[in-house]
Amino acid sequence: MKISTILIISIILLVPGISYSQSSFLAEDGIAVFYPTEFDSTQTLPSIIIEKELLPREALPSSWEIIPDFSVNEDKSLVEISYGPDVDLYGTGEVTGSLRRNDTEIELWNTDNYGYRKAQGKRLYQSHPWIMGVRKDGSAFGIIADNTWKQSFNLKNPITISSDGPPFRVIIIERETPQELLKTLAELTGKIEMPPIWALGYQQCRFSYFPDTKVREVAYEFRKRKIPCDVIWVDIDYMDNFKVFTFHPERFPDPDGLNHYLHSLNIKSVWMIDPGVKKEDGYIVYEEGTAGDHWVYTNNNEVFTGNVWPGECVFPDFTIPETRQWWGSLYRGFIQTGIDGVWNDMNEPSVFNRQGGTMPETNWHRGGGLLQPGPHLRYHNIYGLLMVKASRDGILKANPGKRPFVLSRSNFLGGQKYAATWTGDNASTWEHFKMATPMVLNLGLSGQPFTGPDLGGYRGSPDTSLFANWIAVGAFYPFCRSHTEKGTGAQEPWAFGEEVENVSRKALERRYRLMPYLYTLFWEASQTGLPVMRPVFFADITNLTLRSEDEAFMWGDDLLIIPQWAENPGLPGGIWRTISLLDADAENDGYQPELRQRGGSIIPLGSLIQSTDEFKTDSTTLFVCLDENNKAGGTLYVDEGDGFDYRNGDFEVLTFNAKKIGKKKVIVRCKSAGTSQTKDQRYYQIGLVSDTGIFYSDWEDSNTIKVKF
């Protein structure tokens, strides 16, 4: 009987529009799928979130604990999910508030939310219909509300998910640890590609640097003052009357020359492209889009218009495959000017003169391919995701030898495959500064490892103390960019005086010294889906005192970052020894976080550099922190830093293992995997992290490091 039921369900899943009674099954070990009564697959499937089909494999076991209860109340589709005692909830994507999400409410409706002032910050730029639960014993479960419609989460017990759309399926994942849960989430939703290494460097932005001479001036000052920097960002004032894919004839008459100048300083450029296209006869993008019938329509079958920066605009309907292809093709000439990366902003989408600051929910998307026609209420939350997918595909076609870099303000669960993100228009306040860490952590716990806030805050001007604290901690966010709005004070590191300039230089030199370790963590994220920046409780998932810690955080498993301002932070037990990355660390400036290395780990460090263009691993320092058994291990990933040769095996993974022999000798052995041609040209230094300092000795043998002290 059970086998027949499973087969029937399998057949039904492949037939669009069929309704059937509530059902459940195991698709894979620890992955259960639940369908509500009268489920209509055309209303929510194919899944935007899940990359592979989840078909029935076997019946749900009687011991399965987390079971959703479906119902319909007036025009709302509801799901209630009860869970046991002593469960801590996390995830839910881009949210304000504390790391632990219990007893909170959020709305999943992507919103241009300047200063997080709308809806008390419960509704921001991105939607991640994902909840992580961690039990007292460290086991974890995940909940995916697999639909794109407007919805809300009330994270009490039971959890209540309320959707403005039709009934939707729910996916429950059970795993032994939260780390294994995140790996499974990545297997279902997709992993990030390796970013270009320059995207991991420090980045400087404001709304706006113009004319082009100002961009050159800022870049020159970074090099003159020897403050590490990899990217200068160019906001919408480069455009001719804010028309996308154009350049202002007076402010930016020679984008090729500007980019060539930046490249001569080993600095890259990222330029903004918004979705709103100015409605103007003779403007080629508008003319092409109109001829190709690429715009979003109203429910009255008229092209929708709304005001954004250029004035009256039309908007691409990214649910149409041909529209996404056309939009991507617009990047060819744009990228050929030497632009290195693209910033997709305002893509919630933001519309200035419409109620709610966006398109009407009744606007109509025509779909195509696997996407059904439907109202904006269904496709609003993935408008940004579809845009950045089109952008990434177009950039890759325009420049196939380079790894695309796209930053997006709006996104959705699974969108990490297409774009990095930042946390939107935050404010220059201590509240928003301290809020940034749990926001970045919960994005990481929702599958997005490449994220960070606007350092210094976007709205308003920080005082010297706030900026110094922010850049000192911000040097340890995965995405590291300072950004501010028009009408504020200058926010370059030197604008706050000599003390803050020195604090900034030191903070960024620490980040760049850790670049080998950081790049390796991004490689790990691309392989496993684990976040780069992790909550402290990952160090000991059964230590309940760490579950709410959201001031201190970790890079990977081995580096603990403790801000100077943290008040009695919860820290993991065991061996965690303070490390010094620079000679200047000996002088505490009152801003730099304390860094502690986990006992049993080896962390690779690079040389002091001003740009990742100078990054090399032929001279690498290994910090070895022995555990209670006098052993340690670590990994270093190396590739060209750009391009795709690594996909064909042109990379190297160095595995280090150390042990102490007797009282005065530490031996470190190295194994190499991969085909990189540079692996025999390396030179290492070894640093032993101990209670009495760091000891170095040179090493040229390709197999063993011997350290005497």
- Residues annotated as catalytic are 345, 348, 425
Largest CA distance in the chain: 82
* Spatial CB neighbours of 465, under 8 Å, sequence gap ≥ 6: none
Give the sign of the dihedral formed by CA 210, CA 214, CA 216, CA 218: negative
In this structure, are residues 397 and 428 in contact, taking their beta carbons and an 8 Å threshold? Answer: no
For residue 208, whether the previous peptide bond is cis, meaning omega lies within 30 degrees of 0, is yes
CB atoms within 10 A of CB 300: 9
DSSP reduced 3-state for 708: strand
For residue 167, whether the previous peptide bond is cis, meaning omega lies within 30 degrees of 0, is no
The tokens of 389 are what? Answer: 């997918």
CB atoms within 10 A of CB 4: 8
Burial 505-522 (b: 16+ CB within 10 A, else e): bbbbbbbbbbbbbbbbbb
- CA 280 – CA 558 distance, rounded (Å): 55
In this structure, are residues 691 and 577 in contact, taking their beta carbons and an 8 Å threshold? Answer: yes
In this structure, are residues 562 and 596 in contact, taking their beta carbons and an 8 Å threshold? Answer: yes
- CA 601 – CA 326 distance, rounded (Å): 49
Helix H or strand E encompassing 272: strand 268-273
In this structure, are residues 248 and 239 in contact, taking their beta carbons and an 8 Å threshold? Answer: yes
- CA 187 – CA 527 distance, rounded (Å): 10
- CA 464 – CA 99 distance, rounded (Å): 27
Choose among 201, 250, 249, 212: nearest CA to 234.
212
Using DSSP bridges, classify how beta strands 619-625 and 683-690 pair: parallel, antiparallel or unpaired.
Answer: parallel
Alpha helix ranges (H) inside 578-631: none
Beta bridge partners of 707: 666
Burial 456-493 (b: 16+ CB within 10 A, else e): bbbbbbbeeebbbbbbbbbbbbbbbbbbbbeebeebbb
Beta bridge partners of 270: 233, 341
In this structure, are residues 309 and 271 in contact, taking their beta carbons and an 8 Å threshold? Answer: no
The tokens of 246 are what? Answer: 């154009």
Q: Give CA separation, 280 vs 1, 243, 308, 484, 694, in Å.
A: 64, 10, 14, 30, 65
- CA 433 – CA 428 distance, rounded (Å): 7
- CA 515 – CA 505 distance, rounded (Å): 15
Beta bridge partners of 312: 307
End-to-end CA distance of the chain: 72
- CA 452 – CA 524 distance, rounded (Å): 18
